[in-house]
Amino acid sequence: MTGNPALAPAPVVEIAHLNKSYRRGSQVLPVLQDINLTIQAGEFLALMGPSGSGKTTLLNLIAGLDRPDSGHLTVHGINLPALTESQLADWRAANVGFIFQFYQLIPVLTAYENVELPLLLTRLSRRERQEHVDLVLELVSLSDRQHHYPGQLSGGQQQRVAIARALVTDPTLIAADEPTGDLDKKSAGEIMDLLTQLNREFQKTIIIVTHDPEAAAHAGRIRRLIKGQLLNESEPQED
Amino acid sequence: MLKLTWRNITRHPLRAALTILGMAVAVLAFTLLRTVVAAWYAGVNAASPARLVCRNAISLVFPLPIAYLPKVQAIPGIEAVAYGRWFGGNYIDERHFFPKFAVDVRRYFAIYPEYVMPEDQKLAFMKDRRGAAVGRTLATRYGWKLGDSVVIKGNIYPGEWPFIIRAIYTGAEPTTDESRFFFHWDYLNESLKKSATSRADNVGWFLIKVARPELAPLVAAQVDALFKNSLAETLTETEQAFALGFVSMTEAILLAIQVVSWVVIGVILIVLANTMAMNARERRGEYAVLKTMGFKGRHLAGLIFGESLILALAGGLVGEVLTFPAVHFFKVSMGQYFRVFPLTRATLILGLAVALAVGLLAALLPAWRASRVSIAEALRKVG
Ligand SMILES: Nc1ncnc2c1ncn2[C@@H]1O[C@H](COP(=O)(O)OP(=O)(O)OP(=O)(O)O)[C@@H](O)[C@H]1O
Ligand SMILES: [Mg+2]
């Protein structure tokens, strides 16, 4: 199942022979080794694997937050490693919405203002920005909480604000790093339902990193990372 | 973004308030110290380049004979000559100090247009042999009104000297000294003729107004040449140099005060830089999150500079507002030590400029760090 079947499968993310290592002093620590992965438009992919296996690192590479050491990495046909810092920032602003485990809302801004933030980088007028913000807050059912500060919202509500923020620029790619990791079962279910809805109704390509099999079950496809290597899709699961 | 800058400032109200307060105190100290220095130099600044002071070459305490007057007047290039004598003496007691001068009233005030007094008062002053003209500050300090009689106890010239206040002058410039006491040289001289004949017919200095400032060096040289090898040789210099002579002995103290004023600014720079660094470190995660959305280093730098500048300028403005009552307090309580206490616009502007510079400098390092924050690393720390 790949989102909207009417949409001809076109690769959004193409990764081949991707390597990434971190340097700790003189020691080189390989984190990702020879990753090969293709994600189609409108796909909902879950990355699973034990802690330290490199899930976050891979997600960051795809979302243009970090750079690989070697290998091929294109998103929407754009060769991300070739972009400058500034071009990469512009690309992120236009193409990616990021969701974090701990929501990462700005505590001194209201829900509305938090969601509005990414739009400040666009040419939209105040009026247009308001329309966009109202729309996505409506979508995450938080219109009545728009003037609350993050501290006045529950974890689940904060994560919905974060989703609205990721969504407000209408990016094609949504990257979520353990979006339910800090939530109770019920809130986690709501968040996953919301992401599923975004995938189904709006054809968003979604990549989530998760430890939670229940959350992963919402995804159309699950890939596992172990010690920096992607298991073949056919290989048996053991998380 | 402006909203975020503002909210960031109010995030720790106490920290922001203390920083602003510190900044305010620093700017207050800075402008106050500068004003003290300016007060010392006021005499120099008030001096006109077209005026020369001719005094005894040995020392200011030795007089010159009044007989020099016509000879000086005869030198070409000189527009007017007046003369004066330091009187000394005490009003009430030594603690109530203000300068007292015996001058040839008519010509003296013609050369000093910066002492402004109403025409009728001037006339009354000129007509009354025992008349005195006093500065506004002095009149206010002692509650003197026109017609009041004032007794000065002489020390250089012993005895009780009664005067009647006939004029109250004001300064044309903020640097004009409004705490002087002027009276007729003739009055002093006539008394001396009776009681101390040897001291009569002398002046402390001649004041020479040259036609054009460029003539000053030439005229000065001519005056001194004229009295070379006479009983009392003269030293003629510009009023500025004359006033500087008074100041120079305190030069070291003035330099120290100026150094201290900058040290105060250095200290507040460190305090603000620390506050900004602390703020920026706490918000590393937020900066990283903003970066994931596509905000760039310059946006983050803008946030940090904005915050730093607002703190610094707010402190600077509060400090400057406080400067006014502080200067007033100084004027009232220490007025007799300073001829004038001028809080100039230049000092105020310098104070604000310094606050601005402190704001910019304090933000430099945190802004640079924030703009270089690696998203992946910063996010690892905050989850
Ligand atoms: N900036 C870094 N410097 C050094 N080592 C790093 C850095 N980032 C990640 N690593 C290392 O890379 C490995 C993979 O990290 P990553 O965060 O991608 O794992 P993960 O699968 O997301 O784990 P978790 O489930 O705990 O979030 C870990 O061993 C980690 O210590
Ligand atoms: Mg992770």
Give this complex's ipTM: 0.89
CB contact under 8 A, A65 and B379: yes
Mutate to test the pocket of ligand 1, among A31, A55, A180 (most ligand atoms within 8 A of CB): A31
Q: Cα angle vertex B8, ends B373, B379, to 5°?
A: 30
- Determine how β-strand A205-209 pairs with β-strand A173-177: parallel
CA-to-CA distance for A62 and A46, rounded, in angstroms?
Answer: 13
pLDDT tens digits along A62-88: 999 999 999 899 998 889 999 998 999
User: pTM here?
Assistant: 0.69
3-state class of B61 per DSSP? coil
Domain with A174, as residue range(s), is: 42-66+82-230
Give, using CA atoms, the residue closest to atom 4 of ligand 1. A22
What are the backbone angles phi and psi of residue B68, rounded to the nearest 5°?
Answer: -70, -20
Tokens standing for B250?
């305190």
Residue type at position A229: Q
Neighbouring residues of B106: CB distance < 8 A, sequence distance ≥ 6: B126
Annotate A122-148 with b (16+ C-beta within 10 A) or e (fewer): eeeeeeebeebbeebbebbebeebbeb
Torsion of CA A211, A214, A218, A223, to 10 degrees: 40
Asked whether residue A27 is assigned to any structural domain, the reply reads no
Residues of A with Cβ-Cβ distance to B9 under 8 angstroms:
none
3-state class of B103 per DSSP? strand
Closest chain B CA to residue A85: B296
Q: Which of B289, B293, B375 sits opposite A93 (nearest CB)?
A: B293
Torsion of CA A64, A67, A73, A74, to 10 degrees: 30
Q: Which of A92, A113, A120 sits opposite B292 (nearest CB)?
A: A92
Asked whether residue A24 is assigned to any structural domain, the reply reads no
3-state class of B147 per DSSP? coil
Distance B373 CA to ligand 1 centre (A): 17
Number of helices followed by number of strands (H, E) in chain B: 14, 12
Q: Which DSSP state fits A42?
A: T
CB contact under 8 A, B294 and A121: yes
B286: contact with A, CB 8 A cutoff: yes
Distance A139 CA to ligand 2 centre (A): 27
User: Is B132 within 8 Å of B164 (Cβ atoms)?
Assistant: yes
A52 lines ligand 1 (CB under 6 A): yes
Neighbour-count burial of B2, counting CB atoms closer than 10 A to its CB (0-12 exposed, 13-18 middle, 19+ buried)? exposed
Residue A3 has pLDDT above 60, yes or no: no
CA-to-CA distance for B52 and B11, rounded, in angstroms?
Answer: 62
pLDDT confidence tier of residue A25, bands split at 50, 70 and 90: confident
Q: Helices in A168-222 by DSSP H: which ranges?
A: 185-202, 213-216
Neighbour-count burial of B369, counting CB atoms closer than 10 A to its CB (0-12 exposed, 13-18 middle, 19+ buried)? middle
Residues of B with Cβ-Cβ distance to A170 under 8 angstroms:
none
CA-to-CA distance for B63 and B118, rounded, in angstroms?
Answer: 32
Closest chain A CA to residue B289: A104
pLDDT tens digits along B41-70: 766 666 677 889 999 988 878 899 999 999
CB contact under 8 A, A89 and B383: no
User: Is A234 within 8 Å of A199 (Cβ atoms)?
Assistant: no
Residues of B with Cβ-Cβ distance to A165 under 8 angstroms:
293
Residue A2 has pLDDT above 50, yes or no: no
Distance A217 CA to ligand 2 centre (A): 19
User: Is B50 within 8 Å of B212 (Cβ atoms)?
Assistant: yes
Neighbouring residues of B265: CB distance < 8 A, sequence distance ≥ 6: B26, B30, B354, B358
> B76 to each of A59, A156, B34, B52, B81, how far by Cα in Å?
93, 96, 41, 14, 12
Give, using CA atoms, the residue closest to atom 31 of ligand 1. A52
User: Is B46 within 8 Å of B202 (Cβ atoms)?
Assistant: no
CATH number at residue A195: 3.40.50.300
For residue B43, the model assigns a pLDDT of 62
Tokens standing for A126?
């105040």
Residues of A with Cβ-Cβ distance to B289 under 8 angstroms:
100, 104, 106
Asked whether residue A51 is assigned to any structural domain, the reply reads yes
Residue type at position B344: T
Q: Which of B7, B294, B382 sits opposite A92 (nearest CB)?
A: B294
CA-to-CA distance for B78 and B207, rounded, in angstroms?
Answer: 10
Mutate to test the pocket of ligand 1, among A18, A19, A20, A22 (most ligand atoms within 8 A of CB): A22
pLDDT tens digits along A142-196: 899 999 999 999 998 999 999 999 999 989 999 999 988 888 888 888 889 989 9
Distance A187 CA to ligand 2 centre (A): 20
Asked whether residue A171 is assigned to any structural domain, the reply reads yes
CA-to-CA distance for B272 and A168, rounded, in angstroms?
Answer: 37
CA-to-CA distance for B230 and B308, rounded, in angstroms?
Answer: 68
For residue A8, the model assigns a pLDDT of 54
B100: contact with A, CB 8 A cutoff: no
A24 lines ligand 1 (CB under 6 A): yes
Distance A164 CA to ligand 1 centre (A): 27
For residue B252, the model assigns a pLDDT of 75
Asked whether residue A47 is assigned to any structural domain, the reply reads yes
Tokens standing for B329?
């307090």
A86: contact with B, CB 8 A cutoff: yes
CB contact under 8 A, A92 and B4: no
A29 lines ligand 1 (CB under 6 A): yes
User: Is A96 within 8 Å of A103 (Cβ atoms)?
Assistant: no
Mutate to test the pocket of ligand 1, among A20, A55, A101, A210 (most ligand atoms within 8 A of CB): A55
CB-CB neighbours of A218 under 10 Å: 21
CB contact under 8 A, A92 and B383: no
Positions in chain B whose pLDDT score sits under 50: none
- A65 min Cα distance to partner chain B (Å): 6
Q: Which of A193, A128, A184 is nearest to A154 (CA)?
A: A184
* Helix or strand holding residue B258 (H, E): helix B251-282
For residue A236, the model assigns a pLDDT of 46
Mean pLDDT of A189-210: 91
For residue A129, the model assigns a pLDDT of 92
User: Is B85 within 8 Å of B188 (Cβ atoms)?
Assistant: yes
A82 lines ligand 1 (CB under 6 A): no
How many domains does chain A contain in total?
A: 1
Neighbouring residues of B193: CB distance < 8 A, sequence distance ≥ 6: B200, B201
B374 lines ligand 1 (CB under 6 A): no
Q: Which ligand 1 atom is the nearest neighbour of the CA of A57?
A: 18
Closest chain B CA to residue A175: B292
Asked whether residue A25 is assigned to any structural domain, the reply reads no
Asked whether residue A21 is assigned to any structural domain, the reply reads no
What are the backbone angles phi and psi of residue A225, rounded to the nearest 5°?
Answer: -110, 135
Give, using CA atoms, the residue closest to atom 18 of ligand 1. A54
Instruction: Collect contacts of B123-127 with beta carbons under 8 A, ≥24 apart.
Output: B124/B166, B124/B167, B125/B166, B125/B167
Asked whether residue A103 is assigned to any structural domain, the reply reads yes
For residue A239, the model assigns a pLDDT of 46
B223 half-sphere exposure, CB direction, 13 A CA radius: 33
B108 half-sphere exposure, CB direction, 13 A CA radius: 21
